[in-house]
């Protein structure tokens, strides 16, 4: 569990650092993010994951969908105290970092 918290702080730092390199999110993207966050905060993890999967499909080069899906998996694992999705969490985290780094270098 400690490793998951550490990587989440790192992800958040990288994501925040890359924000200036990103274009402002379009309204549909922003609305999907807010919808997914709302689902996650209400423990509707399956619905949140579906929203973030849609973001990943529609914006595969944007770290935002990967970041929020990883955050949703983390919340779900911590809530249930079941860490079977840890591998997927780390894969999403790594993809988020790669994409954020690319955006930062391009910006």
**pLDDT tens readout for residues 8-22:** 555 555 555 554 444
How much is the average pLDDT of 27-33? 89
How much is the average pLDDT of 39-50? 97
Q: What was the pLDDT predicted at 107?
A: 74
In this prediction the pTM is 0.77
What sign does the CA torsion over 92, 4, 64, 19 have? Answer: negative
How much is the average pLDDT of 67-85? 96
Q: What was the pLDDT predicted at 27?
A: 85
Q: What is the mean pLDDT of the chain?
A: 85
Q: How many residues does the chain have?
A: 107
């Amino acid at each position: 569990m400690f490793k998951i918290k550490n990587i989440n702080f790192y992800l958040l730092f990288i994501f925040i650092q890359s924000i200036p390199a990103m274009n402002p999110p379009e309204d549909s993207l922003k609305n999907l993010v807010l919808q997914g966050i709302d689902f996650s905060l209400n423990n509707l993890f399956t619905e949140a994951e579906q929203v973030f999967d849609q973001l990943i499909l529609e914006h595969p080069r944007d770290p935002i969908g990967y970041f929020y899906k990883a955050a949703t998996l983390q919340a779900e694992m911590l809530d249930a105290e079941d860490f079977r999705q840890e591998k997927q969490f780390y894969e999403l985290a790594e993809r988020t970092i790669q994409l954020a780094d690319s955006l930062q270098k391009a910006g």
